[in-house]
Chains A and B, each alone.
Chain A
Amino acid sequence: MDYDLSKPQKMLQQSVREFCQRQCPLEKVREIMETDTAQDPELWQGIADQGWIGLHLSEDLGGLGLALVDLAVVAEELGRACLPGPFLSTTWAATLISKSGHEAAAKKYLADLCEGSKIATVACFEEESGWAAEEYSTIKANESGDGVLLSGSKQLVGDAAVADIMIVAARGDKGLTLALIETSADGVSIKATPGIDATRKLYEVKFENVPGTVLAIGDDAKRALTESQQVGNVAVCAELVGSMQWMLETTVEYARTRKQFDQIIGSFQAVQHKCADMLLATESSRSAALYAAWALSESTDDADRAVSIAKLFCADSAQKVGGNAVQVHGGIGFTWEHDLHMFYKRNKANEFLFGDSTFHREHVALIAIDAA
């Protein structure tokens, strides 16, 4: 048993870290986030060339056949760099295609996604249904020939403006229907809905009789969607850990150098204790995030619970860590000029993605109380 990263995992971590420092330092993050789509094609191609998109998919599907812990290693570094762009959207969509078991779609799209020549996203969230689209989705999937025609609208769709394909969670006659569409199809309208996090853009997408290929229906669709969100959460948790790590290091560095009253502020206990709490929250989150990644990879009995626990713990911790980071920086921490706010805001968006803490606490309670 080894809770630590393996040698190859440490090498992967190192190479992602160096890549981000070289290709996307924080000045670059700012430039990219000021654009309409926060997508930089050159950077995207660079990531794809490294093989990090879909690295957890099997090799015959175009991935590297690595485990979810490896995905977490990459995501942690991307979080630590606050790297903009559609990594999470594409990872989610690629996972969903592969989990849906639709071989033709997998053949047709996954290799392109992994190579970076296509970008994908998932349209799942609606205000009344949340992330559990199977329950209340208002999007209708009407059968039409081999496929379906989709009508309705979705919110909070990540990177829709740069996505070539989109998987839509809709409702058909046989329950939840996962349909794949080309975003260039007639009847798709995409409207930017700027959110708190500028490094990943969100959109409202409307569908009017848009033709889609059915990837999965009913229980199969539900299982695929849930599993893809679990994988998404593994990546989100790791991102949050990376972000916390950056905040911790940046804050401690500041506390070591900034002086007031002729003293280093890091010698004041009120400051020290905030930093110590950041350390505890970051490390505890790392324990939880790594475990969730491993458990899901290995399909352990408690994998579902592990993912929910990691998500709520990392999201709540990121709030505390972010709050302390800003406070210890004083006025400068509240400025646009300082980089802190980019992480602080992205953490908030990540907190909501794939279910917030309230959602996951309920899920943990459900398993503990009702499922035993």
Chain B
Amino acid sequence: MDLNLTPDEQSFRDELRAWLKENVPEEYDGQRGGEDSDGYWQYLRDWQKKLFDGGWAGVSWPTEFGGRGATPIQQSIFLQETIAAGAPEHLGVIGEGLVGPTIIVAGTEEQKAKYLPRILSGEDVWCQGFSEPNAGSDVAALGTKAVLDGDEWVVNGQKIWTSFAQGSDLCFLLVRTDFDVPKHKGITALLVDMKSQGITRKPLRQMSGDSGFNELFFSDMRVPVANQLGPLNQGWKICITALMNERTNLGSSMFTFFDQAVDGLIEHARTRKRNGKLLSECPLKRQKIGQAVADLEVYRLNIARALSRMEKDSTPGPEGSMLKIYWSEMYQRLSQASMEILGDVSQLKDFDGGEWVYRYLRSKGSTIEGGTSEIQRCILAERVLGLPKSY
């Protein structure tokens, strides 16, 4: 074991450090609040564009697709350095972390040329249309139907919980193309323009009050066959690849978000008073802060260790489920502890622009999105520990 950087890794780091020093923007000073905050989204988009222009977008993507071709360890350095430099959180979670890597594996040359560069530049924002009212954990039971008509698929049905659909340009959609085979074998993946005729979008209000996700209704929506991703009825396999990517990437790209939360918490504890004493003087609050710092650090180490393993065996494995459980449950603990530490006033919407209320509520969705904690634990039990399937 040696966490010292090799000369190659060092020069990667030095180059990145120098670039970050010149390019990291001032911290966002407006209201971040929820996902409706347009100003904040623009700020993140601008950052994405800067990363792209500087050649730092898509660090993990192969260079032939406009990425940096970074090894997993370089990705880990990237994460570390962007945190240290106080860079903004990452915007392109679905596009860069999930759709792009899947297109790279399963897409045609035309599809790669058409979609990949625009993901990295932040020009295209993607959403992911997998879940349906009756197909959540059991995504493979989805029933949104596509029928071939000439060189077009005609799509009818409904998706639900589609995050970012309001601002998205494209949708990575799973549809049923064969009803007469076992459920996993009749699914096809489509790349859908959100401006297509026949899509209706209905925002759903989350418990945080934001409209982070949506319902999508399809009525005779036409999708060119050229937009089919991968072979007919192979959508499940493609979806598994995508979900594996989601589980590993989603987690690491959220690190900055948590790190900023802990920093903010400590800053408050140092300066705010309760009963005439600084919050940081209360032993119980100190315990909670110590725990939050430790939780977060172990999360960082788990990511670094997973990436180091992937350096040798590059496929994301089921341990992505470990990271997913870890960060989503840590998010809830952290949000809960934060409000306990900050005290009564933290419930006010004006307090830090509602940041703490938002985190407290939003974190409840995190153990559901991207595969619930229960499903993740089943995956670990079956695929890592070798226990019998339970469903």
Q: Which chain A residues numbered 55 to 87 have a C-beta less than 8 Å away from chain B?
A: 69
Interface segment out of the listed B4-12, B24-32, B93-101, B117-125: B4-12
Interface window among B55-63, B177-185, B202-210, B378-386: B378-386
List A contacts of B309 (CB < 8 A): 3-4
> What chain B residues lie within 8 Å of A294 (beta carbons)?
1-3
Contact B280 A280 (CB under 8 A): no
Contact between A279 and B322, CB atoms less than 8 A apart: yes
Contact B322 A283 (CB under 8 A): yes
Q: Which residues of A contact B304 (CB under 8 A)?
A: 3, 287
- Taking the complex as formed, is B291 at the interface, i.e. its CB lies under 8 A from any CB of chain A? yes
- Interface window among A89-97, A127-135, A142-150, A270-278: A270-278
Q: Is A219 an interface residue (CB 8 A)?
A: no
User: Which of A196-204, A207-215, A354-362 contacts the other chain?
Assistant: A354-362
Given the known inter-chain contacts A2-B308, A276-B381, please indicate yes or no for A269 contacting B293, CB distance below 8 A. no
Q: Please name all residues of chain A whose beta carbon is closer than 8 Å to the beta carbon of B1 when the two chains form the complex.
A: 2-6, 9, 69, 290, 294
Q: Which residue of B lies closest to A255 (CB)?
A: B387
Give the one of B9, B286, B304 with max A CB within 10 A. Answer: B286
User: With A and B bound together, what is the CA distance between A368 and B341 in angstroms?
Assistant: 15
Interface of chain B, helix or strand or loop or mixed? Answer: helix
Whose C-beta in chain A lies nearest to the C-beta of B385? A252
Q: How many angstroms between the C-alpha atoms of A256 and B389 in the bound complex? A: 11
Q: Which of A266-317 contact B (CB under 8 A)?
A: 266-269, 271-273, 275-277, 279-280, 283-284, 286-288, 290-291, 294, 298, 305-306, 308-309, 312-313
B388–A266 contact, CB under 8 A?
Answer: yes
**Inter-subunit contact A287/B384 (CB<8 Å):** no
Q: Are the C-beta atoms of A1 and B6 separated by less than 8 Å? A: yes
B390 & A268 in contact (Cβ 8 Å cutoff) = yes
- Residues of chain B within 8 A of A308, CB atoms compared: 294
User: Roughly how many angstroms separate A3 CA and B388 CA in the complex, as a whole number?
Assistant: 31
Interface hits, A221-278 → B, CB 8 Å: 252, 255-256, 264, 266-269, 271-273, 275-277
A362 pairs with B287, CB closer than 8 A: yes
B27 CB to nearest chain A CB (Å): 17
Chain B interface residue count, Cβ-Cβ cutoff 8 angstroms? 50
Interface residues contributed by chain A, number (CB under 8 Å): 51
Interfacial chain B residues near A277, Cβ < 8 Å: 377
**A residues 1-27 with Cβ under 8 Å of B?**
1-6, 9
Task: Give the residues in chain B near A366, CB-CB below 8 Å.
Answer: 286
Docked Cα-Cα span, A28 to B49, in Å, equals 65
Tell me the A86-118 residues at the B interface (CB within 8 Å): none
Interface pair A365/B293, CB less than 8 Å apart? yes
Of A4, A9, A279, A283, the residue contacting B302 (CB under 8 A) is A283
Secondary structure at chain A's binding surface: helix, strand, loop or mixed?
helix
Q: How far is the CB of B382 from chain A (nearest CB, A)?
A: 8
Top-6 shortest CB links A-B = A361-B290, A272-B381, A3-B308, A365-B290, A266-B387, A276-B377
Given contacts A1-B4, A269-B374, A273-B377, is CB(A365)–CB(B302) below 8 Å? no
The answer on a CB contact under 8 Å between A275 and B385 is yes
Q: Which chain A residue lies CB-closest to B279?
A: A369
| A280/B325 contact (C-beta < 8 A), A6-B1, A313-B298, A369-B266 known | yes
Known: A2-B1, A266-B381, A284-B326. Is A369-B289 also a contact (CB below 8 A)?
Answer: yes
Chain A residues with Cβ below 8 Å from B2 are: 1-2, 6, 294
User: Is A368 a contact partner of B266 (Cβ separation < 8 A)?
Assistant: yes
Task: Give every chain A residue within 8 A of B384 (Cβ-Cβ).
Answer: 279
> A267, B293: Cβ atoms under 8 Å?
no
Contact at B291–A369, with CB atoms within 8 Å? no
The residues of A that contact B294 with a CB separation of less than 8 Å are: 308-309, 312-313, 361, 364
What residues on A are CB-neighbors of B77 within 8 Å?
Answer: 1
Across the interface, name the chain B residue whose C-beta is closest to A263. B388
Known: A287-B301, A313-B298. A368 touches B381 (CB 8 A): no
Q: With contacts A1-B6, A279-B385 known, is A368 near B380, CB below 8 A?
A: no
Apart from A283-B319, A369-B280, list 8 A-B contacts with CB within 8 A.
A1-B2, A256-B388, A267-B388, A272-B378, A272-B387, A288-B297, A362-B283, A365-B287
* B269→A369 contact, CB < 8 A: yes
Least CB distance from A317 to B in Å reads 9
Interface residues in B76-118 by Cβ distance below 8 A to A read 76-77
Query: Is the beta-carbon distance between B387 and A3 smaller than 8 angstroms?
Result: no
- Residue A363 CB within 8 A of the other chain: yes
Contacts of A6 in B (CB 8 A): 1-2
Q: Which residues of A contact B195 (CB under 8 A)?
A: none
**Contact present for B290 and A368 (CB under 8 Å):** yes
Is the Cβ of A252 less than 8 Å from the Cβ of B322? no
Which residues 313-336 of B have a CB within 8 angstroms of A? Answer: 319, 322, 325-326
Min CB distance B10 to A, Å, is 10
Q: Are A272 and B326 in contact (CB under 8 A)?
A: no
**Contact (Cβ within 8 A) B381 A1:** no
Smallest CB separation, A290 vs chain B (Å): 6
Question: Which residues on A sit within 8 Å (CB–CB) of B4?
Answer: 1, 298
CA distance A312 to B294 in the complex (A): 8
CA of A264 to CA of B378 in the docked complex: distance in angstroms? Answer: 15
**A251, closest chain B residue (CB):** B385
B9 touches A1 (CB 8 A): yes
Question: What are 13 contact pairs spanning A and B, CB under 8 A?
Answer: A2-B3, A3-B1, A3-B3, A4-B1, A272-B387, A279-B380, A280-B380, A283-B302, A305-B297, A306-B297, A309-B293, A358-B287, A364-B294
CA A124 to CA B175, docked complex, whole Å: 68
A290 to B312, CA, bound (A): 19
Q: How far is the CA of A212 from the CA of B210 in the complex (A)?
A: 70
Q: Is the CB of B302 within 8 A of A284?
A: yes
- The answer to the question of B73 belonging to the interface, with a C-beta cut-off of 8 Å to chain A, is yes
Bound form: Cα–Cα A308–B293 in Å: 11
